[in-house]
Structure 1
Amino acid sequence: MKREIKFRVWDHNTDTMMIPDDFEFCDGEISWIDAGREAGPKSGNDGDPGQFEIMQYTGLHDKNGREIYEGDVVRTGKDNIGDPEPMIGQVIMREGSWIIENEKKQEAIDLFSEITSREVIGNIFEDKQLLEGKQ
């Protein structure tokens, strides 16, 4: 089974999301190429390492065909047997599994397959209000 491994990066200084063309890992440091320009803490072109949030692609798509990444805010529906009532939560990795977590309701469900009711409605950086129940 072939698995696609991709990442995206949130830049806190510019409030922008990047999907880099390439990553380089060297001596525990990371840098990436975005639009032909080297970026990241190792590159010297940007600020401190806390400036960036690197998020991994889950390998799954939502009901609209949109790629689901770590940090996405997802709305669930009612068509998956065993799910709790529909909820909105953040996609995170916990104990080796992708889950949708709603800290407010203290619920979590597995993001183990492409279920027709899963829909990406934003991400934790650009749409923080979604996790507070404000849409």
Structure 2
Amino acid sequence: MTRFKIRLWDKENELWVLPDTLKLKPNKNGGCTEYDNDRFVLELGTGVKDITGREIYEGDIVSWIGHPMTGPGDLTGAIEFQDGSFVIAPGDEKSSSTEGVPMATINSLPLFEIEEAGLTVLGNVHENPELLEVEDD
């Protein structure tokens, strides 16, 4: 059986909670998936670690230094789960689908295509949304 790493953001109290502190209800398939999704944001671990060995989760804001499309600079974006895989979605414009969290204006980059060696976790979309803001020229 595959074990997934998860973390939970409590929107009401604006803090991280341990998954085992919630009263999860079993579903028909034997899993435990029912929780108060109006209050909590469940985020999956990607199985990828950054250059410091830190686990990267959905909702993390990462920087990839030396991205081919940005030349010598870096690409900063949020980790999202799209179409069955984790991607880096560059923070270039607002999307109404994720409560105003910036989404990609260029193609999102699948995490499995990126070398872990260049990724650094800068923060997350809950505590550090300003990291995704694009400066006006």
Report the TM-score, using the length of structure 2 for normalisation: 0.71
CA distance in 2, matches of 1:27, 1:99: 28
Matched residues, number? 115
SS state at 2:38 partner = helix
CA distance in 2, matches of 1:114, 1:11: 31
Equivalent residue for 1:9? Answer: 8
CA distance in 2, matches of 1:26, 1:4: 16
Root-mean-square deviation over aligned CA pairs: 2.6
Structure 1 residues not aligned, in runs of 5+: 32-39, 42-48
Report the TM-score, using the length of structure 1 for normalisation: 0.72
Structure 1's 19 and 84: CA in aligned 2 closer, same or farther, altered over 3 A? farther
Residue 41 (structure 2) pairs with residue 21 (structure 1): no
CA distance in 2, matches of 1:50, 1:22: 17
**Structure 1 residue 103: Cα displacement:** 4.2
CA distance in 1, matches of 2:58, 2:47: 10
Q: Which amino acid aligns with 1:14?
A: N
CA distance in 1, matches of 2:3, 2:27: 24
Equivalent residue for 2:87? Answer: 99
Conserved? CA contact 1:70–1:93, under 8 Å: yes
Conserved? CA contact 2:7–2:16, under 8 Å: yes
Structure 2 residues not aligned, in runs of 5+: 93-103
Equivalent residue for 2:110? Answer: 110
